[in-house]
Structure 1
Amino acid sequence: MNYQHKPLHVKIPVPNGTYEVTLTVTAHEDITLTILSQSRRFMVQDTKMSKNEKKDFVFNVSVCDYHKKDEEFTSVDSIELDILCDGRLTAVAAVSPVNIPTIYIAGDSTVTDQPAAYPYYPSNTYCGWGQMFPRLLNTGITVENHAQSGSNTMDFMNVNFNAFKDKIKEGDFIIVEFGHNDQKVEELDAFGGYSKNLRYFVDFARSKGATPIVASPINRIIFNNDGTLLNLLGDYRNAVKAVCEEMNVPFLDLWTRTTEFFEAAGPVKAWDYFWSNGKERDYTHTNDIGGDIVSRFAADEIIKNNIEPIASLIKKDMIKVTMPEHDTLAADENSKELEHLKSIGLVNVPILEIDRDITKDLP
């Protein structure tokens, strides 16, 4: 839902580590609230409370330093919570350190923690699926999302990975998803440098006693004239599958899941799941609605792969995805949209130009 006001911000100074947070909320009127932690990771989403109701929200938060591409190493020394609400409430937080497994996420802008503006509108807020994922988990495991916009496998290995690779311990997990930026670099072709780097992540995780998990990149919504998606990342999906089979690694096939979903939506309705401000649209990066869908696909793929204990800790009642009905617009309207996309170069776009990101002048 939309939230018109800036969130209530709670900052609790703590050292790096993993914590169980109990946020006790008392509603002073009927409200709907969302609870975010750290860099806008979703812990609770759009939960309703009645007037005078008191409720404990319990979740795990990882406080961790990070190292972003082209930036200095950044230290983090607190739990930070943002409470979005459409009414009046009182909140009290209690924290305690816990020793539980960590899911580390390595990836690019389609996975990273994206910021938001306020008033908050889900449709025009960028969202990586990694920031939606924590709300699907019960306590007993935590998520550190180190994914970074613009990263490819090589960038991440040389920069971002340094912030947490020495922290990885036995029983932890690393989910790796790249491809969108690798395909722009000649030496990171799908079955060459890209696959080589995926093997590095797998070997490193196993050397620490952790479990590697590799996901294929989500698809972009650039359509062919027949209503199918242009196959821009298929080779990278196939490379991930090949590496996973070769090294006996769990494979989360997000490319196939997103391709099926967005083709079902069609070339007009698919935009509902990607960033837009009403005048400009983005065909690579999901909004909060799309990030929600992809996070559910990731959770379902984990269950299908029987990756424990994550699979047992997923909130099964929250991961069902209903396939969208195809565009309700008349066939000629769909045709006009497709022709417009073609006219501005969104069909058969050269790979090196594919991430212009914002497509202007759409109707």
Structure 2
Amino acid sequence: MKQIVGRAGMLVLLVLVLNSGLYGQSFQFDFGQGRVEKGYVKVLPGTGFDQQRGYGIDLGTHVVSNTYTGKAALTDGYLTSDQPFYFSVKLPEGNYNVKIWTGDDRGTADIAVRAENRRMFVNRLQTEKGKHRLIEFTVNIRDSLIAGTNRKVRLKAREYGYLHWDNKLTLEFNSNQPKVNAIEITPSKTAVSVFLAGNSTVVDGASEPYSAWGQMFPFFFQPGKVAVVNLAESGETLSGFIAARRFAKMLSLMKPGDYAFVEFGHNDQKQKGAGVGAFTTYKKDLEFFIDMVRKKGGIPVLVTSVQRRQFDSAGRIVETLGDYPAAVRQTARERHVALIDLNAMSKTLFERMGPEGSLLAFAHFSAGVFANKKEAIADNTHFRPFGAYEVARLMITGVRNAPLKLAGLIKPGEPLFDPSVPDAYTDFYWPESPGRDATKPDGN
């Protein structure tokens, strides 16, 4: 494609590409007042997202621009806000490498970056006065279509409002001084996809306070190397995941060498009927999952169910998941599949936190904290962000212990995590995303 010189020409070119469905084009945006970096499109406070433009400040959030310019065209301007704000780009389904420049030629910056449904990529990055930093990560976006068929994933009604089914990449900028200089988005053709199949303990939770380990998992992997594709949904069983065509969607995207993690059990144990059980129907579905993933050249990874927060009088976790963890362990042995024993590790973690300390990992809140729920919340299955982060750290420990080659793609310097030594709640930084909704996720 020929280069078109000039700001207006670049805008026309970008709109054409964004709306053409092409996968293979880089998109470059220069934020705030100042010169326009060559090849970039200027984004100002009035650049709101619409379908025709294909990019812009989104979801009704507002930003302001710098009032002075600096040295380099790429970083001489920025957009910021005293509230979290969103920027979206209309893109085809796929994995993308994202670069974000942050900082201020005359001041400091303090930013957290999430994508889609609150997937954590940067929990906090601060720059000194006059300094700039480059943030890099790889993100997956998707639609509900199943490639090569005329079928779609059978979404639940509430999923139509989720940011991960809407044919665009949405970035959330949060924290005290989220200053964005520029963004570059490039298709990633070589990243390993790590698919997640699971329930509400795995899902990308859409609204505060509910979170799950799957939306924290991307934080731990090297940019350009790994893209986490979280297809989990609240309330799902393994059989329901298959019936809703979520598994078909996974297989349609999978390439040789990709990983498929599967963690269910919480809702499956409530299924009734003749012959239904952990060592019968559930085990059969696990074997089907393994066979189909291997047929695609993928690498299946079985994960035992994370524990619920239920203690006995001695402060020990009560086993509430029946035979389901044992069925997973047995299937892994029989089929020679990698196993992450999240059930065992989370038992150690929650017991070390204790009955009181573990309240800060789960969705326990006093009455009146959330506008749409007057009574207190006491949820012993679903996590708040801190608990989701701790369980994600357990999963990284599991990846290392399995051992999986994927462990070599964890960020360099990521410390080992011992389940018997949980992080302090006060050390975890999580500025809340917009949209507080105390509606309990499906399932328990």
What is the TM-score normalised by the length of structure 2? 0.67
**Aligned to 1:39, which of 101, 107, 117?**
117
Is 2:197 the partner of 1:114? no
Quote the Cα distance in structure 1 between the aligned partners of 2:414 and 2:211: 18
Is 2:383 the partner of 1:286? yes
**TM superposition shift of 1:5:** 5.6
Change beyond 3 A, Cα 1:72–1:167 = farther
Change beyond 3 A, Cα 1:276–1:161 = same
Q: Does the 8 Å contact 1:136/1:319 carry over to 2?
A: no
Is 2:92 the partner of 1:7? no
Q: Which runs of 5+ in 2 are unaligned?
A: 1-80, 145-152, 367-375, 423-441
**Aligned to 1:78, which of 168, 180, 196?**
168
Tell which deviates more after alignment, 287-296 or 271-280.
271-280
Q: Does the 8 Å contact 1:293/1:321 carry over to 2?
A: no
**Aligned to 2:230, which of 135, 139, 145?**
145
**Aligned to 1:306, which of 392, 395, 403?**
403
**TM superposition shift of 1:316:** 5.2
Change beyond 3 A, Cα 1:318–1:68 = farther
Is 2:312 the partner of 1:221? no
The amino acid that maps onto 2:91 is V
**TM superposition shift of 1:17:** 1.3
Quote the Cα distance in structure 2 between the aligned partners of 1:49 and 1:307: 35
Aligned partner of 1:339 in structure 2 is: none
Q: Does the 8 Å contact 1:274/1:284 carry over to 2?
A: yes
**Larger Rg belongs to:** 2
RMSD: 2.4
Residues 200-215 of structure 1: pairs in structure 2 closer than 5 A = 200-215=288-303
Quote the Cα distance in structure 2 between the aligned partners of 1:299 and 1:68: 30
Aligned partner of 1:265 in structure 2 is: 353
Change beyond 3 A, Cα 1:285–1:73 = closer
Quote the Cα distance in structure 1 between the aligned partners of 2:205 and 2:82: 19
Quote the Cα distance in structure 1 between the aligned partners of 2:213 and 2:443: 21
Aligned partner of 1:131 in structure 2 is: 215
Q: Residues 238-287 of structure 1: CA distance to partner in whole angstroms, max 9, x if unpaired?
A: 11110000001010111001101111121121111111222322100111
DSSP 3-state at the match of 1:290: helix
The amino acid that maps onto 1:269 is G
The amino acid that maps onto 1:277 is F
Quote the Cα distance in structure 2 between the aligned partners of 1:111 and 1:321: 19
Tell which deviates more after alignment, 255-264 or 184-193.
184-193
Aligned partner of 1:335 in structure 2 is: none
Change beyond 3 A, Cα 1:88–1:251 = closer
**TM superposition shift of 1:186:** 2.3
Q: Residues 297-340 of structure 1: CA distance to partner in whole angstroms, max 9, x if unpaired?
A: 111111111211x2111125335336358xxxxxxxxxxxxxxx
Aligned partner of 1:332 in structure 2 is: none
Aligned partner of 2:277 in structure 1 is: 189
Q: Does the 8 Å contact 2:99/2:137 carry over to 1?
A: yes
**TM superposition shift of 1:116:** 2.7
Quote the Cα distance in structure 1 between the aligned partners of 2:195 and 2:356: 35
Is 2:386 the partner of 1:296? no
The amino acid that maps onto 1:313 is L
**TM superposition shift of 1:97:** 1.1
Quote the Cα distance in structure 2 between the aligned partners of 1:220 and 1:203: 30
**Aligned to 1:102, which of 193, 196, 220?**
193
Change beyond 3 A, Cα 1:269–1:72 = closer
Of all paired residues, the percent bearing the same amino acid is 27
Quote the Cα distance in structure 2 between the aligned partners of 1:52 and 1:194: 57
Q: Does the 8 Å contact 2:110/2:178 carry over to 1?
A: no
What is the TM-score normalised by the length of structure 1? 0.82
The amino acid that maps onto 2:384 is N
Number of aligned residue pairs: 319
Quote the Cα distance in structure 1 between the aligned partners of 2:103 and 2:326: 50
Quote the Cα distance in structure 2 between the aligned partners of 1:319 and 1:153: 32
Aligned partner of 2:30 in structure 1 is: none
Q: Does the 8 Å contact 2:102/2:109 carry over to 1?
A: no
Q: Does the 8 Å contact 1:219/1:258 carry over to 2?
A: yes
Quote the Cα distance in structure 2 between the aligned partners of 1:232 and 1:73: 29
